[in-house]
């Protein structure tokens, strides 16, 4: 991530609800750096902790990294993404004209992260947040063997698969959808639990769980069939157990152009070819 303080030239005209303190954060790509330089010169750039809004320049991956920083540093600042990547599901078009005025007309979506607690073979415990999904996957040629618990009750004594994932509603259109999991509306208060290439039981397609659910994975035969766990981009290898739940005490606000809200995008995705 990049931050360079640059005074606004000229200063933005005062207007009600139009932000004058914008923090730009750019992915480490040529396209994002180019836009960062142009926008920072035009509108100025402040530290994220002093900003009224953070403008994220990159793709969905960098957007998730930015949102994680906002959560971990408790910034309480909304984030507006401008697409300099490929898919850009969480992003808005790369249009620089009248940016402050556009920011004043955006619509907000509040996202709650998943909290992952992963225990390694060594006994070391790691925690991480995920706004897309938490997934487990096999580290070797052999399939993983998982036991699946929900709220402390064993729901599947043995799942033989390449892996499994728990997604947020916002993340249900990402890896979860590719693994044939269901798309969940943003206001649905549901978490999809989806197997990745299940071998036994072969026809199990997963489950829709209430957002209050605590999901536990125990890795069976972990020495023979090692498994890694990933929370968005944070990977923990050689895990023996993973616990996942939605952390409602944390939230981040993402901004979208009018008519292009995240709820609308999730709905539209269900009707795409």
- Numbered residues of the known binding site: 60-61, 132-133, 162, 170, 173-178
How far is residue 211's CA from residue 46's CA, in Å, rounded to a whole number? 36
Q: Measuring CA to CA, which residue among 75, 70, 24 is closest to residue 45?
A: 24
Active site residue 60: yes
The answer to whether the CB of 168 falls within 8 A of the CB of 181 is no
**Alpha carbon distance 76, 50 (integer Å):** 10
Enumerate the known binding-site residues for NAD(+): 60-61, 132-133, 162, 170, 173-178
DSSP state of 141: S
Structure token pair of residue 248 = 């409602």
Asked whether 79 and 58 are in contact (CB, 8 A), the reply is no
d(CA 196, CA 16): 49
Q: List C-alpha distances in Å: 112 to 51, 92, 246.
A: 21, 20, 7
**For residue 47, is the peptide bond before it cis, meaning its omega torsion is within 30 degrees of 0?**
no
The single residue of 17, 37, 60, 257 carrying the catalytic annotation is: 60
- Report, as residue numbers or ranges, the catalytic residues: 60
């Amino acid at each position: 991530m990049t931050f360079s303080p640059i005074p606004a030239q000229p200063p933005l005209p005062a207007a009600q609800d139009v932000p004058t303190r914008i923090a730009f954060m750019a992915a480490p790509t040529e396209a994002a750096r180019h836009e960062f330089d142009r926008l920072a010169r035009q509108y100025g750039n402040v530290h994220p902790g002093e900003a009224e809004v953070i403008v994220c320049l990159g793709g969905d991956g960098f957007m998730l990294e930015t949102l994680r920083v906002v959560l971990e540093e408790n910034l309480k600042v909304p984030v507006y993404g401008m697409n300099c990547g490929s898919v850009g599901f969480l992003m808005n078009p790369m249009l620089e004209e009248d940016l402050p005025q556009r920011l004043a007309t955006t619509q907000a979506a509040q996202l709650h992260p998943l909290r992952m607690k992963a225990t390694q073979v060594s006994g070391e415990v790691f925690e991480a947040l995920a706004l897309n999904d938490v997934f487990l996957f096999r580290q070797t040629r052999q399939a993983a063997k998982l036991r699946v618990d929900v709220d402390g009750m064993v729901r599947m004594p043995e799942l033989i698969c390449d892996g499994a994932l728990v997604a947020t509603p916002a993340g249900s259109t990402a890896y979860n959808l590719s693994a044939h999991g269901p798309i969940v509306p943003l206001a649905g208060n549901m978490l999809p639990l989806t197997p990745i290439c299940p071998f036994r039981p072969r026809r199990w397609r997963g489950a829709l769980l209430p957002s209050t659910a605590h999901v536990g994975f125990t890795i069976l035969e972990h020495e023979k069939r090692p498994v890694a766990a990933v929370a968005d981009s944070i990977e923990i290898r050689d895990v023996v157990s993973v616990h996942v739940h939605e952390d409602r005490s944390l939230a981040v606000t993402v901004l979208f152009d009018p008519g292009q809200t995240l709820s609308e995008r999730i709905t539209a995705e269900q009707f795409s070819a």
